[in-house]
């Protein structure tokens, strides 16, 4: 009997289009969502036979755990997304978009500098269009519809850098994930990029709220993210709208940091 060729599990997943890249394959394996010949595999470098059966068994209904972040915010803020046209700024693998589709969104335009990250299955949805572009240079005509809602998840950049671009969509509310480590002033975040101190988080959120208001946006409400960030940062959501003046009181931001 001919000996079967061996291959790393993560590489085999990539070859079979079970993941978009090695990073995603490794994440699925380490999350315990991959089975080889019916048995759970938890090591990306495991050598398997080239013909071994590989199955993905996610223990949640979304393309990524990021969906749980926005799911909780939508529930808490009582946002009805049914029938809405949505712009997803920083779509990444598509967790936010997947959640909104499952909640009844009509159409979504996903924006990112690297749209190859978007989940393969999600890309097959005819109601999703993808736009490969830096959000800083987004033009109104780039989006094929007038969005009712804009959802946003940015990393390594403050949302204040992107909000002026989004002001052209004046009718849309914006539900943006707030990552304190990327909104803090330079040099104020501790080792590992985690903002652990409650008072520091409060200062960051209040400073951000005032910056948003200075850009002629109102902070209409806030909510906690459903799960913490990758390194353990407590994250938040702000519900915003351009041109509005009725921002929530600063005391409500203080309440956010009490939790």
Does the pTM surpass 0.85? The reply is no
Residue 56's pLDDT is 79
Say if residue 259's pLDDT is above 60. no
Give yes or no: residues 143 and 38 share one domain: no
- Domain CATH number, residue 17: 3.10.290.10
User: The domain containing residue 20 runs over which residues?
Assistant: 6-56
The verdict on 132 and 10 lying in the same domain is: no
| Residue 62 forms part of a structural domain | no
CA distance 110 to 115: 8
Query: Are 84 and 211 within one domain?
Result: yes
Answer yes or no: do 123 and 40 share one domain: no
For the segment 45-62, the average pLDDT, to the nearest whole number, is 83
* Residue 224 pLDDT class (50, 70, 90 cuts): confident
Q: Does the pLDDT at position 159 exceed 80?
A: yes
Residues 193, 251 share a domain:
yes
Number of domains in the chain: 2
Mean pLDDT value across residues 32-53: 86
Same domain, 96 and 165: yes
Chain centroid to CA 238: how far? 14
Question: Do 88 and 177 reside in the same domain of the chain?
Answer: yes
Q: Which helix (H) or strand (E) holds 101?
A: helix 95-102
- Is residue 239 pLDDT above 90, yes or no? yes
Residue 1 located in a structural domain? no
């Amino acid at each position: 009997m001919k000996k079967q060729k061996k291959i790393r599990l993560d590489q085999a997943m990539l070859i079979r289009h079970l993941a978009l890249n090695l990073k995603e394959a490794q994440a699925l394996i380490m999350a315990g969502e991959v089975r080889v010949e019916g048995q759970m595999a938890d090591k990306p470098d495991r050598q398997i036979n080239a013909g071994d059966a590989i199955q993905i068994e996610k223990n949640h209904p979304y393309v990524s755990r990021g969906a749980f972040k926005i799911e909780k915010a939508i529930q808490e803020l009582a946002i009805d997304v049914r029938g809405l046209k949505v712009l997803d700024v920083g779509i990444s693998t598509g967790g936010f978009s997947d959640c909104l589709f499952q909640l009844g969104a009509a159409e979504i335009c996903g924006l990112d500098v690297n749209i190859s990250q978007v989940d393969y299955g999600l890309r097959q949805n005819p109601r999703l269009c993808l736009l490969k572009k830096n959000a800083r240079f987004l033009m109104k005509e780039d989006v094929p519809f007038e969005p009712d809602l804009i959802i946003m998840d940015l990393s390594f950049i403050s949302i204040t850098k992107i909000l002026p671009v989004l002001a052209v969509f004046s009718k849309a509310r914006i539900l943006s994930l707030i990552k304190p480590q990327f909104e803090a002033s330079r040099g104020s975040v501790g080792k590992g990029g985690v903002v652990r101190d409650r008072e520091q988080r409060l200062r960051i959120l209040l400073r951000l709220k005032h910056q948003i208001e200075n850009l002629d946006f109102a902070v209409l409400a806030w909510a906690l993210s459903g799960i913490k960030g990758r390194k353990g940062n407590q994250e938040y959501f702000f519900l915003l709208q351009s041109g509005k003046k009725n921002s929530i009181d600063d005391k409500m931001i203080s309440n956010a940091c009490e939790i």
